[in-house]
Structure 1
Amino acid sequence: FNEDDNTAAGLDTKISVSDESHSGAGAMLVSERLKAWNSPTINLTNIVTPGGQYKVTFWAKVPKADDDFDKGINLRISGGITTEEGDGEWYANYPADTNYPIKYEEWTKCETTFTAPAAFYNYILYVESNGSARASFLIDDLTIECLSEPAEYDDTLPSIKDTYKDYFPIMGTAIGYDTLLNKNSLGFVKKHYDSVTYGNSMKPDAVMGSQKTLTVETGTAEEAEKTKDYYVTADYASHEANKDADGKVLVPEINFANIDKELKIAHDNGLKVRFHTFVWHQQMPHHFFTVGYSMDSKAEYVDQATMFSREEMYIKSIMNHIFAKDYPYRDTVYTIDVVNEYTHMSNISAADGSDNWWRHIFGEVMKTDCEYVKRAFKYAYEALEANDKTEDVSLIYNDYNTYDYPDTIVELINNINKKDDINPEGQKICAGIGMQAHLNDKGATPENFEKAVNAFREAGFEIQVTELDITNCGTVDESTDDETKAEVEADSAKMWGDIMTVLLNQKAKGANIKAVVIWGLTDSTSWRSDRSPLLFGSDLADKKPSFDAVINAALNFKSSK
């Protein structure tokens, strides 16, 4: 590194050479930071291969002079990715949300493996702290080792979607946009799946990620062009909290261009898209809930009537855009997760770093007759009606651990569809349940899973399995011996086979199972990579016994009928 970089405009980190070293004459001292993520970076753009697996190793400690942090700090190893030229940068921890505790005055070895993005225009690696923004730290003996180049997928394997085509209309997976830019991973996705769910990029914090506002009608010509697709009613415009200090009506900037880009690439490759999601208690931008869309952390929250107007504006603006009669990709989205994980809304607070902003307006108690949840579905259904899409698109309530409380889910959805002032005709505005199926605890047994599916079938709901991975069979990492790994893989394979058999049996009993979505392509890129969650391991060529179990479940079911 070059110490002259400290003079760069806007650099909120000082880098220098310290004589406190793990080996050799000196180490990099990172100091005078303003934020936890401030840190020097290594540009890997021309060093790593897209989709390759790498190991990064370094030694770190809190320096002697920084005794304010004599209890140590937590570091994180992170990547910053720009997918295409002109795009904004997005970030990932390796592995997700993993801390590396380092000590005061004692060198600690930090090491992890990571998989480079499937495609990138620019790619950096950096070390940040989790909290402790003012802390200094030392780094020495950093190495990056290539473990494997990306392997070509095996095109001779049976196709998952083709194997299940007689049972489930959609077999999908979860990916990032960059996955579809890589020829190898694109081919893999098209071979095995009908649809994709973009894991994060259609959530509100991404769609409204610019945190900017635009003025409606009275704005500049540029703003008028940007706001032409916004659904702004007289009711919305009547709320003072939706205006700036001059009385001009405001809307949050919605990134329609990114939505267009992601729908286009799916459409061009014959893939459907699950839109995930409109309403959640996480990953919602704070300014969406404040008076005048203020970015001030202490800003006043809007009242309920104003919030309903914003909810309607946001949902209908996006849906009118993606389902417009002249929109080239209007047939690409087959399902929308209108509301996500509402029954767990009490589990999140400001202390978790991702506050449930809804609670400041509607209260902290989960209710199965929640008005903002029901209104979200009503607004979405009205948008489908306006665009002649009620027969083509499912509006789904999505949640995890649904096998623990199926009765609550049934009550919630029945209340959404109940005839009342919001839904005066008693229309089925919520088609059914999205069972995330992150099967990660002892209660996630095939028996309990089947009880939940059966309950939803008897309630007359459309059923979609939306985020399936299996992580309750043990941990597999670099330290796991071959015998233990084989046991975990065998248990995982049995679980995968059992779960798919449950779904096939329920389908035979009349369950309206429209889609099964597997949450990711490989263990190495999964959010739970150390628990053998998926059907492929280190790369797309690393077929696991779980893949065979999924294929065999369908073949055995067919032969038994």
Structure 2
Amino acid sequence: MLKRKGKLKKNVAVIISVLMMFVMGTPAGTVYAASTLRSTYGKTLSNSGAAVNYSQLNNSSTLSAIKNQYNSITMENEMKPDAILGYAPTLLSVSDAKAKGYYIPSGYTESTVPTLNFNTMDAVLKICYNNGLKLRAHTLVWHAQTPDWFFRTNYSSSGSYVSQSVMYARMEMYIKTLMNHVYLGSYGSVVYAWDVVNEYLHAQTSGWSKIYGSNLGTQAEYVKRAFQYAYDCLSYFGLTNSVSLFYNDYNEYMIPDQIISLIKYINSGNKLCSGVGMQSHLSTSYPSVALYKTALQKFANAGLEMQITELDVGNTSDSSQASYVYDLLSAILSVKKAGGKITGITWWGLYDSVSWRSSNKPLLFSGLNSPKTSYYSALQAYTNAGY
């Protein structure tokens, strides 16, 4: 009970310290005028990020706000497989695909290749390059938002599912063509991390499971091969020491041992996977910060690089969110300070009304330039951590 009282007093103190700034006539924004997420977390963790969409990047006011708070972005949807492949295939001959620079592996036995549309991605890379922003590339292999025709014979929605060997060749073609395109281009230097495989341990029925089977546990060969293909690209361009490859998942605080086991399997023989992307879609009611920190510490003990990749915190009030955010970021920073390789925090959205969880008001801003109490508690956690 004493422990709970102590924690309650601390949380109340955080809220009071921020609110007193207003009561005493000193707005919190004035106190932290020189501090932003970029100048604090971006400095210490290297990457302070937010998920955005292309239209937001194309709006000068929004872009200015992004650059003020963040030095990294993740595209919410524009780099997912369905955005690159399209909802219906446009097929090229293999010879035409080669002429366009597509990577066609030796094991590729089909006569056609689907067109990959890089137009939006290329525009995003250019914006990042011209505005001093880095990019987390999200995502290459995912059971969702991947068109079903990609897994079927002749790339036809009416075809049967292809064999495992055919799908391996398709996956290699897709991953290496996309990554080659990025790093052969003028702006590829902005990409510092890739979510190679997303949510495999929570995968629902998809083309991947239709071909390779379900319930493969922590030793799924197609997952390991995806990392091998991505690593091959980084190795070719000499980027294995500067670009990280992640396994990304949600509810990661519930299954840390499984994630560690999966990454150990991926890295058996050669280190292909840098670490874990902790999505961190949280709520003030669950998980507890203690449970989250336990998972974080397990990943640190396993020697994994960690990035918090899709953070948001659902809540029932600004004050409860502010207390939770303070405790959460304090925990993250304490693991960092103890030697954990935590290299970024990305919030999943710019402000509440554009969040995928808008009814839960899960972000640090109520509007583009309207910080909430939780924003100031995030900065307070950073200051109190001794940075």
Alignment of 1:261-276 (within 5 A): 261-276=123-138
- Tell me how far 1:443 sits from its aligned partner: 3.8
- Which secondary structure state, in structure 2, belongs to the residue aligned with residue 336 of structure 1? strand
Identity over aligned residues, as a percent? 41
- Alignment equivalent of 1:161, drawn from 28, 33, 38: 38
Structure of larger gyration radius: 1
Alignment of 1:192-341 (within 5 A): 192-209=69-86, 210-217=88-95, 223=96, 227-236=99-108, 238=109, 242=110, 249-296=111-158, 299-324=159-184, 327-341=185-199
- Tell me how far 1:200 sits from its aligned partner: 0.5
Preserved CA contact (<8 Å) 1:343 1:366: no
Structure 2 Cα separation of the partners of residues 417 and 224 of structure 1: 32
- Tell me how far 1:165 sits from its aligned partner: 4.0
The higher-RCO structure (CA 8 Å, 6+ apart) is 2
Structure 2 residue aligned with 1:367:
217
Change (3 A) 1:443 1:366: farther
Structure 2 residue aligned with 1:105:
none
Change (3 A) 1:447 1:177: same
- Tell me how far 1:166 sits from its aligned partner: 4.3
Structure 2 Cα separation of the partners of residues 526 and 374 of structure 1: 32
Structure 1 residue aligned with 2:243:
393
Structure 2 Cα separation of the partners of residues 164 and 274 of structure 1: 16
1:509 aligned partner, one-letter code: A
Preserved CA contact (<8 Å) 2:47 2:71: yes
Task: Choose between structure 1 and 2: higher helix proportion.
Answer: 2
Alignment of 1:413-492 (within 5 A): 413-418=263-268, 426-440=269-283, 442-471=285-314, 473-474=315-316, 488-492=317-321
- Alignment equivalent of 1:500, drawn from 300, 305, 329: 329
Structure 1 Cα separation of the partners of residues 291 and 75 of structure 2: 28
Structure 1 residue aligned with 2:8:
none
Structure 2 residue aligned with 1:525:
354
Q: Deviations 1:142-192 (Å, cap 9, x if unpaired)?
A: xxxxxxxxxxx9994621110224420101000001111112111110011
Structure 2 Cα separation of the partners of residues 284 and 456 of structure 1: 29
- Tell me how far 1:229 sits from its aligned partner: 1.8
- Tell me how far 1:295 sits from its aligned partner: 2.6
- Alignment equivalent of 2:342, drawn from 500, 504, 513: 513
Q: Deviations 1:420-479 (Å, cap 9, x if unpaired)?
A: xxxxxx2210000000000137441110110001000000000000000001x22xxxxx
Q: Deviations 1:192-225 (Å, cap 9, x if unpaired)?
A: 10110001110001100152111111xxxxx458
Structure 1 Cα separation of the partners of residues 42 and 375 of structure 2: 16
2:194 aligned partner, one-letter code: I
1:496 aligned partner, one-letter code: V
- Which secondary structure state, in structure 1, belongs to the residue aligned with residue 92 of structure 2? strand
Task: Choose between structure 1 and 2: higher strand proportion.
Answer: 1
Structure 1 Cα separation of the partners of residues 46 and 303 of structure 2: 18
- Superposition CA RMSD, Å: 1.7
Structure 2 Cα separation of the partners of residues 364 and 224 of structure 1: 32
Matched, 1:190 2:18: no
Q: Deviation above 4 Å: which 4+ runs of structure 1?
A: 153-157
1:215 aligned partner, one-letter code: S
Preserved CA contact (<8 Å) 2:97 2:113: no
Matched, 1:548 2:372: no
Change (3 A) 1:440 1:211: farther
Q: Deviations 1:238-261 (Å, cap 9, x if unpaired)?
A: 3xxx2xxxxxx1111101222211
Structure 2 Cα separation of the partners of residues 291 and 258 of structure 1: 28
Structure 2 Cα separation of the partners of residues 449 and 261 of structure 1: 36
1:492 aligned partner, one-letter code: Q
Structure 2 residue aligned with 1:179:
56
Structure 1 Cα separation of the partners of residues 75 and 237 of structure 2: 23
Change (3 A) 1:166 1:332: closer
Q: Deviations 1:25-71 (Å, cap 9, x if unpaired)?
A: xxxxxxxxxxxxxxxxxxxxxxxxxxxxxxxxxxxxxxxxxxxxxxx
Preserved CA contact (<8 Å) 2:193 2:243: yes
2:119 aligned partner, one-letter code: A
Change (3 A) 1:278 1:441: farther
1:179 aligned partner, one-letter code: Q
Range with greater deviation from structure 2 (439-448 or 276-285): 439-448
- Tell me how far 1:366 sits from its aligned partner: 3.7
- Tell me how far 1:279 sits from its aligned partner: 0.6
Q: Deviations 1:58-99 (Å, cap 9, x if unpaired)?
A: xxxxxxxxxxxxxxxxxxxxxxxxxxxxxxxxxxxxxxxxxx
Kindly tell me the number of residue pairs found equivalent between the two proteins.
Answer: 357
Structure 1 Cα separation of the partners of residues 259 and 369 of structure 2: 39
